[in-house]
Amino acid sequence: EQSKKIVLVEDAGLPKASKAKIVHLEPLRSQRVRVFGWVHRLRVQKGLIFIVLRDGTGYLQAVLTGTATQTYEALTLGLESTVELVGTLQVVPEGKTAPGGHELAVDYWRLIGGSPGGEDAFSTRVNEHSDPSIQADLRHLVIRALSVKLTPLTTSWRSRPPCLVQTQVEGGATLFKLDYYGQPAFLTQSSQLYLETCLPSLGDVFCVQESFRAENSHTRRHLSEYTHMEAELAFIDFNDLMTHIETIICETVDILLANPATAALIKQLNPTFAAPSRPFLRMSYEDAIVWLTEHGIKRPAEDADEKPILDENGQVLMVDHVVGDDIAEAAERQMTDIIGKPMFLYGFPAELKAFYMKKMPAKDGKTFTESCDLLMPNVGEIVGGSMRIEDMDELVAAYKREGIPVEPYYWFTDQRKYGTCAHGGYGMGIERFLAWLANRYTVRECSLYPRWPGRATP
């Protein structure tokens, strides 16, 4: 009871702390730093708490003293919880060892996401079942414990998330279903959910993996199988996410233009190509609806069965967009072509978007998401990304609302149960990126053996 009354506040009079990943701490010795991660080890002594923090880039020993050890969060802290630690980075005295050769003397800390104790405790679940099939079910937790061994292994040969899966990411309508030893399974639509589970062991992650979409659309930019570059980042906010996507695109272009061979190829295929300037335009979904209306860009009217409504001449009836409407490919393309430079569209309505997306605070009874699409002239969307729901109960409610069964997602849900964190990520279709860069009419030209509806030969 007493501990619940002890509240720790960060002393605003102290020098500003710089946010850093553990691997980048060395140059910041003797300074105040701010680190985020998972409680890897925990030792409590009289008046002292020692934490070994893990963020996927390394380990950091931290020491809590005084009131920092007396709060309710301090007394109930468990392994695999997520915390923010702020303090001064000190070289460990001669004769003592710590990862990296330094230690954090914490002056402020905060619990971000707790982790259960008792039966459900991380260590109980991971260590007490030697049965290989239970260990396989718990792979998403086991990889945290393996972190140190996994990092060199997976990065040296670029281990990737699976293609054969039993969960959906982007909606049932585009899933390729197959019979998997008598059980239903799918070809992956996105590696996102798996990347999320890697944050606690590998830190910020990316993969380049095939994705499969049973799209019913014969368009210039849809393939049934495409190369998907996806990334996931921990302890970021929505603004960081968009800045990151912009940086990835611009730095990739810079590298390609700095290389004489690729620069020549781009020049040949797309003679007028110029590297885009930063920052990219950011337009909210609501502003885009206004923009479309002002520019007379309409959408086909549909009946309740999503069939087009015809006018008296038998032509498809075109109507203005209103908030809540999907901005379909044709309208999106017209908008990007008029604007003529890369732009983010962000803040789509929750009902149009995937179940896992983090919501913005509700506005006039409408809920928008922390989601963004990066649109490029000639192609339209080349990247889709979002912040993810952090809270376990909110996620479970989202499965229910979308009619998604909760049980198969236990491993994705556990990510929120054992030390949740603010995180987000994105996926880029490589063929679409190339269609933009090389000014191709269709993504089919950017794939060696393109697959589109009905086409899987040769």
Binding interface with ligand 4AD (CB under 6 A): 169-170, 190, 192, 213, 215, 222-223, 226, 228, 230, 381-385, 425-429, 431-432, 443
What amino acid occupies position 360?
A: M
- Alpha-carbon distance of 256 to 426, in angstroms, equals 21
Query: What is the spatial distance between Cα 373 and Cα 342, in angstroms, rounded to a whole number?
Result: 10
Pick the closer one to ligand 4AD by CB: 175 or 443.
443
What single letter denotes the amino acid at residue 112?
A: I
Nearest to 392 by CA among 82, 158, 162, 22: 82
Please list, in sequence order, all residues whose beta carbon lies within 8 angstroms of the beta carbon of residue 187, skipping any fewer than 6 positions away.
163, 164, 165, 175, 176, 178, 212
Q: How far is the CB of 416 from ligand 4AD (least distance, A)?
A: 17
218 versus 307: smaller Cβ distance to ligand 4AD: 218
Q: Is 96 exposed, middle or buried (0-12, 13-18, 19+ CB in 10 A)?
A: exposed
Phi and psi (nearest 5°) for 101? 80, 10
Smallest gap from residue 5 Cβ to ligand 4AD (A): 42
State which residue, 321 or 432, has the beta carbon closest to ligand 4AD. 432
Amino acid at the residue 43: R
Q: Which is nearer to ligand 4AD, 21 or 222 (CB)?
A: 222
Sole residue written with tokens 């609302």: 401
Q: Is the dihedral of CA 122, 124, 130, 133 positive or negative?
A: negative
> What is d(CA 72, CA 85) in angstroms, rounded to the nearest whole number?
16
Least distance between ligand 4AD and beta carbon 344 (Å): 12
Shortest Cβ distance from residue 209 to ligand 4AD (Å)? 10
Residue 76 Cβ vs ligand 4AD, minimum distance, rounded to whole Å? 33
Least distance from C-beta 83 to ligand 4AD, angstroms?
26
Taking the least distance from each CB to ligand 4AD, the nearer of 63 and 234 is: 234
Nearest distance from residue 348's CB to ligand 4AD, in Å? 11
Distance CA 378, CA 273 (A): 12
For ligand 4AD, the closer of residues 109 and 235 by Cβ is 235
CB nearer to ligand 4AD: pick between 59 and 368: 368
Task: Rank residues 22 and 435 by Cβ distance to ligand 4AD and give the closer one.
Answer: 435
Closest contact distance (angstroms) between CB of 226 and ligand 4AD is 4
Q: How far is the CB of 235 from ligand 4AD (least distance, A)?
A: 17
Please, is 300 exposed, middle or buried when counting C-beta atoms within 10 Å of its C-beta (0-12, 13-18, 19+)? middle
177 neighbors 165 (Cβ within 8 angstroms): no
Maximum separation of any 2 CA atoms in the chain, in Å: 89
Return the beta strands (E) in 271-359 as ranges.
281-284, 299-300, 318-319, 343-346
- Asked if 438 and 431 count as a contact pair (C-beta separation under 8 A), the reply is no
User: Cα separation of 458 and 451, whole Å?
Assistant: 10
Min dist CB 237 to ligand 4AD, Å, is 16
Smaller CB separation from ligand 4AD, 107 or 373: 373
Residue 109 vs 344, nearer CB to ligand 4AD: 344
The rounded distance, in Å, linking the Cα atoms of 259 and 434 is 16
Residue nearest ligand 4AD by beta-carbon distance: 384
Q: How many residues does the chain have?
A: 458
User: How far is residue 282's CA from residue 65's CA, in Å, rounded to a whole number?
Assistant: 45
